[in-house]
Structure 1
Amino acid sequence: MKPRVGLFVTCLVDLMRPSVGFAAARLIERSGCSVIVPAGQTCCGQPAYNSGDPDSARDLALQTVRAFETCEFVVAPSGSCASMLRLHYPALFKGRGEVEQDVKAFAARVHELTSFLVNVRGMTATGAQFEGRVVHHDACSGLRELGIRAEPRQLLASVAGLELLDAPETTACCGFGGLFSVKYPEISSAVADRKIEDLKTPAPDLVTGGDLGCLMNLAGRLNRSGQPLPCRHVAEILAGETREPPIAWSEKGTPP
């Protein structure tokens, strides 16, 4: 019987880039699992948690735990959300009786997408094809909290026609940081500009990443500065799902 994997879609994917969710589901299926998308899932609670509202974050966390209770694994195409589910949920419920153990058991089943494919399912290639030079951006939460760096690169390197490049400062932040970009737009923009210059150094055709927030932040900054460097979620490349246009913000309603 195939393992049941619950896909945690994430708010940004659901609202801004559904193609990432479909690509993630196809990749999980290719790894030999069945995919379910619980209708009861909502936000992971990270915005509330980061803004100092642990009670709201706990309410959302419990809803998430209940929504995925029948899943053997929970997979998110986002290091940021996966980190919230895997690392910060147990911290939210520390010392709160029986529910603490339930949350810990849930957190232990959570994985970021590329980490799940490589480390849990043993995937070494996805059968995708993409012609172009690609540089991968390591999002802060996935890299620093979950230790994800080799996994997306291993899978990207297997894509036929793809030339994988590395920027000089692979660990540098993109400047997004969720609420950080709203509270400190000038600093966020300066950090993004520095990151963009770093990503452009190896002269890629495309930027990939595992967190849609980072990619949208970079795409918006690139748009406003008139720099033609498209961005895509790594799942789209690995699944061969490149029919949608690259990630971009319109000139109207762009973030800082």
Structure 2
Amino acid sequence: MRAALFVTCVNDALYPSTGIATVRLLERLGVAVDFPDAQSCCGQPQFNTGYRRETEPLVRRMVRAFEEYEYVVTPSGSCAAMIRHHYPKFGDRAAASLAARTYELTEFLADVLGVTDVGAYFPHTVTYHPSCHGLRVLGLGDRPRRLLDAVRGLRLRELPGAEECCGFGGTFAVKNSDVSVAMGRDKVDNAVSTGAGVLCGADNSCLMHIGAIASRADAPLRPVHLAEILASTEEEPWS
């Protein structure tokens, strides 16, 4: 099987380890992974802020970059949701086609590859935050939890108020910073209360927000993307 990685802007610029982990994981499961150099921002920041016209060139560029691939995989629920739910609104058959071929990582693992045990080993206590786009827009359900449950050595703790937004929300964090920070503090407090040392999520934008608040509060909590946990093995452990 062959798939293309859509790494996303946040991962490319700030969290390249997540992209590397995604490739490592998929290749371990027998998937040949390509990385189209022409990929760019999916247009989510512009579209969510109301700049539809400015989003259109990015949509066309993404369509061209991934037109030859049957499967496009991304370690980001928010960017997957942008392509899946908003690209068809541009009235372009090619954009709608890309939407139908795009999968968030846990969807691809559970629904396309049909696996939950990916051979991972991660001997840490972990709590999981389900980001809003994955939870409410994509409907990921228990897919991430099933993948985490199958990781050897991992101790999963239930996160109080798990379904509450962390407060990031893209430009919401800029326009409503006080509310955003207050929501983030609640999320950090709930995560720390579990006794877990690792906060896992499937969107680095949310983990960035939560991690920054945890760092300022000197909270004993390290944010780690789900892909990095799933890519970790006894032979090649996460560091």
- 1:164 corresponds in structure 2 to 156
**Number of equivalences:** 236
- 1:29 corresponds in structure 2 to 27
Task: Map 1:226-245 to 2 at 5 A.
Answer: 226-240=218-232, 243-244=238-239
SS in 1 for 2:80: helix
Corresponding letter in the other structure for 2:119: G
> Of residues 74, 95, 105 in structure 1, which corresponds to 2:72?
74
Identity of aligned residues (%): 44
> Of residues 15, 38, 49 in structure 2, which corresponds to 1:17?
15
> Of residues 172, 178, 185 in structure 2, which corresponds to 1:186?
178
Displacement of 1:4: 2.0
Could you list the structure 1 runs, at least 4 aligned residues long, displaced by more than 6 angstroms after superposition: none
Deviations along 1:197-242, whole A, 9 cap, x unmatched? Answer: 2222221121000000000100100111111211100000100066
- 1:38 corresponds in structure 2 to 36
How many angstroms apart in 1 are the aligned matches of 2:158 and 2:28? 27
- 1:97 corresponds in structure 2 to none
Corresponding letter in the other structure for 2:231: A
> Of residues 187, 198, 201 in structure 2, which corresponds to 1:206?
198
SS in 2 for 1:28: helix
Q: Is the 8 A contact 1:48 1:56 kept in 2?
A: yes
Displacement of 1:32: 2.5
- 1:224 corresponds in structure 2 to 216
Displacement of 1:243: 4.4
Task: Determine whether 1:50 maps to 2:43.
Answer: no
Bigger drift between 101-110 and 214-223 goes to 101-110
- 2:166 corresponds in structure 1 to 174
How many angstroms apart in 2 are the aligned matches of 1:49 and 1:28? 30
Corresponding letter in the other structure for 2:223: C
Corresponding letter in the other structure for 1:10: T
Provide the TM-score with structure 2 as the length reference: 0.95
- 1:88 corresponds in structure 2 to 86
Q: Is the 8 A contact 2:201 2:226 kept in 1?
A: yes
Task: Determine whether 1:121 maps to 2:113.
Answer: yes
- 2:145 corresponds in structure 1 to 153
How many angstroms apart in 1 are the aligned matches of 2:230 and 2:29? 12
How many angstroms apart in 1 are the aligned matches of 2:134 and 2:55? 20
Stretches of structure 2 that go unaligned for 5 or more consecutive residues are none
SS in 2 for 1:231: strand
